[in-house]
Amino acid sequence: MSVPAGPPSQTTTTTDHPATDQPAPALPTSAAPSGTGVPAVASPHGAAQSAPHRRGRWIDHWDPEDPTFWRDGGRKVATRNLWISVFAEFLGFAVWALWSIVVPQLGAAGFTFTVDQQFWLIAVPSLVGATLRIPYTFAVPLFGGRTWTVVSALLLLVPTVSLAVVVQNPETPFGVMLLVAALAGVGGGNFASSMANISFFYPEKEKGRALGLNAAGGNLGTAAVQFAVPLVIVAGAGIALERAGLMMIPFILLAAFLAWRYMDNLTHAKADFRSFAAATRNRHTWIISFLYIGTFGSFIGYSGAFPTLLKNQFPEVTLSIAFLGALVGSVSRPLGGTIADKVGGARVTIVAFGVMALGAFGAIRALESHSFGLFFGSFLLLFVATGIGNGATYRMIPAVFAASGELAAQTLPDDERAAHRTRIRKAAAGCIGIAGAIGAFGGFLIPRGFAISNDLAGSLVPALWIFIGVYAVMAVVTWAVYQRRGARMAAAGI
């Protein structure tokens, strides 16, 4: 999505006072209304002016591309919104991944679900979360970033409270459990709305870093919940699975309060449906979305399945270390983007698929020899590769669209090139939203692949061989389109 720029000569306060038609008194150039944190920008008459106050912490004029506006307070406001957004998205990922760590404990709590049913409980939150990502993206321009962050945070109470209720009764029907697990998908939608909201606050030159922090901070929620839940549910006597849901409630309420108290809505954050429409007509949107299933989809899919894989394949291992997979996958994501900046996103993505295939092959050998150390190490390698692949593939999007746009611009008259480049930038923004949604479906496909493999062959090995084949296909597609000598895109160094 593009970042709408407001008039550089005005800004607004973010107080919650009633609107007024009376102009605010002039302020010194370096001053701003007390407590707002919004920069005052000099007017044409030499004095800074404040726009009318609005309810709901709405900012009517926001121009991060203006260096003076950004330096004199815009950065401070954007940073405040970013860190609260990171916290809310962190909780969204935590709720999204909650069933990944609850499912391996269901047997100890008296539930008697089959392996196929267990993988359904793990997979369905990803299916729902992926589906919600597109509408969640458009919720920010419709309701405002601050407003939607409050609403989306409070929505997390529904799956957490529901989980706390159903896991207390081992006689709860599987259909009810599946419905409650599906509710956790609202946490997956939070990523899309959070990324869309933060993109409006930052200038183009700083969006990459801000969105990278936002994404990495959210991904860490998966590792955090897989680390904390096993400790919380066994505190005291026996296993109390309801605590897995109850422990989230205070943090959810805190996130909603912080968003309500300190975040802002931007009036000029408008939904750009044309960018999505343009993205759907560009073949690179679908190529990159396919690749993103292999990178981000593998991360979220393996994150969901890994605790259950360890529990079922190596029941003799009692250490709660499954969270390390999601942890190394999360922290390696920014590394992928950094390396891609230096050597090209396509090259890094191809290498990432190769390493993922190597990790899956190691897991196959570990299952054949029943080697926990090799299995665990192979999956950690897989997780690192998915994280690096996430960063590299996401980094490819603006580079690919810019390069393809320049190739097309060479055939256009000079007076049409600027408008064409603008359309391409908007299409790239639309591709980010579409790829993020489609990629998340990998979180459904991988657990279901393991379940089907176990049912048909009594082993995870066939599924892992299929994943290796898919990674090989994805690496070849990346090379053929973006790296092959003679390919139109190869010369751009993507």
Which structural domains are found in the chain, ordered by start? 68-270 (1.20.1250.20), 272-494 (1.20.1250.20)
Q: Give the pLDDT of residue 425.
A: 75
Average pLDDT per block of 10 residues along the chain, 494 residues long = 39 37 34 44 37 66 91 93 96 96 94 96 96 91 92 97 96 97 95 88 84 86 95 83 96 97 89 82 93 96 96 89 94 89 91 98 97 97 96 87 76 73 78 90 96 96 98 96 76 62
Q: What are phi and psi of 469, to 5 degrees?
A: -60, -40
Closest CA to 393 of 488, 467, 477, 485: 477
DSSP 135-148: HHHHHHHHH-HHHH
Apex 165 CA angle, 116 and 302, nearest 5:
35
Q: Give the pLDDT of residue 324.
A: 96
Closest CA to 85 of 201, 5, 4, 185: 201
Tokens matching residue 241: 């699975």
Q: Give the pLDDT of residue 49.
A: 37
What is the spatial distance between Cα 354 and Cα 335, in angstroms, rounded to a whole number?
17
Closest CA to 268 of 321, 192, 199: 199
Angle between helices 345-369 and 372-409 (to 10 degrees): 160
Q: What is the pTM of this model?
A: 0.83
Q: Give the pLDDT of residue 54.
A: 59
Q: Give the pLDDT of residue 490.
A: 64
Q: Give the pLDDT of residue 395.
A: 83
Helix, strand or coil, per DSSP, at residue 449: helix
Q: Give the pLDDT of residue 493.
A: 63
The residue length of the chain stands at 494
Q: Give the pLDDT of residue 492.
A: 60
Distance set, CA 470 to CA 80, 283, 352, 379, 494 (Å): 41, 20, 13, 17, 22
Greatest Cα pair distance, the chain, in angstroms, is 79
Q: Give the pLDDT of residue 10.
A: 38
Q: Give the pLDDT of residue 5.
A: 40
Helix, strand or coil, per DSSP, at residue 319: coil
Q: Give the pLDDT of residue 112.
A: 94
